[in-house]
């Protein structure tokens, strides 16, 4: 994030040398800075989700192996216990898959919210820029 901020600062300093009447380049660059920050936030969300899912999968594998050891160590004459243990292990596995799906959905929803928020901000920035441009050309003031 620091590098992207520095890059935009460098570009902003360069743009100051080339002022264009009626065009607020600093506002445009500030908007791009916010775009980069939003993309970085989406990336962090995706990384956190991937990390969370990897930990959950490792935990699921560990638990499944432990359950499998338990089933296999059950005495040969206790077939009913083995069937029950296998059913219970299957229920746990399905529950864990549901948790993984929840993690993925939450991550996607968070990323979508970030991108949607930034898109709404971009639209509002564009509206403001257009109304300032119209006001400048017509000689009226807008707020």
Domain-embedded: residue 66: yes
Closest CA to 111 of 46, 54, 48, 50: 46
Domain-embedded: residue 83: yes
pTM score above 0.75: no
Domain-embedded: residue 143: no
The angle subtended at Cα 61 by Cα 97 and Cα 74, nearest 5°, is 110
Domain-embedded: residue 38: yes
Query: Looking at residues 23-48, what average pLDDT do you find?
Result: 81
Who wins on pLDDT, 33 or 26? 33
What pLDDT band is residue 129 in, cutting at 50, 70 and 90? confident
Who wins on pLDDT, 22 or 57? 57
What pLDDT band is residue 71 in, cutting at 50, 70 and 90? confident
Cα gap 86→92, rounded to integer Å: 10
Number of structural domains (the chain) is 1
Domain-embedded: residue 61: yes
Domain-embedded: residue 85: yes
**What's the domain range around 82?**
2-138
Query: Looking at residues 1-9, what average pLDDT do you find?
Result: 66
Highest mean pLDDT among 88-97, 105-114, 134-143 belongs to: 105-114
What pLDDT band is residue 84 in, cutting at 50, 70 and 90? confident
**H helices within the chain, ranges in order?**
2-15, 25-73, 79-138
Domain-embedded: residue 23: yes
């Amino acid at each position: 994030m620091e590098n992207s901020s520095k890059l935009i600062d460098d570009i902003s300093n360069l743009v100051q040398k080339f002022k264009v009447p009626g065009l607020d380049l600093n506002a445009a660059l500030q908007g791009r800075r916010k775009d980069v920050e939003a993309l970085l936030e989406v990336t962090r969300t995706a990384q956190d989700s991937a990390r969370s899912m990897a930990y959950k999968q490792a935990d699921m594998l560990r638990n499944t192996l432990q359950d499998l050891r338990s089933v296999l160590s059950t005495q040969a004459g206790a077939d009913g216990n083995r069937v029950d243990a296998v059913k219970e292990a299957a229920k746990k596995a399905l529950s864990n898959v549901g948790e993984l799906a929840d993690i993925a959905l939450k991550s996607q929803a968070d990323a979508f919210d970030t991108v949607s928020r930034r898109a709404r901000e971009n639209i509002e920035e564009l509206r403001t820029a257009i109304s300032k441009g119209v006001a400048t050309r017509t000689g009226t003031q807008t707020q």
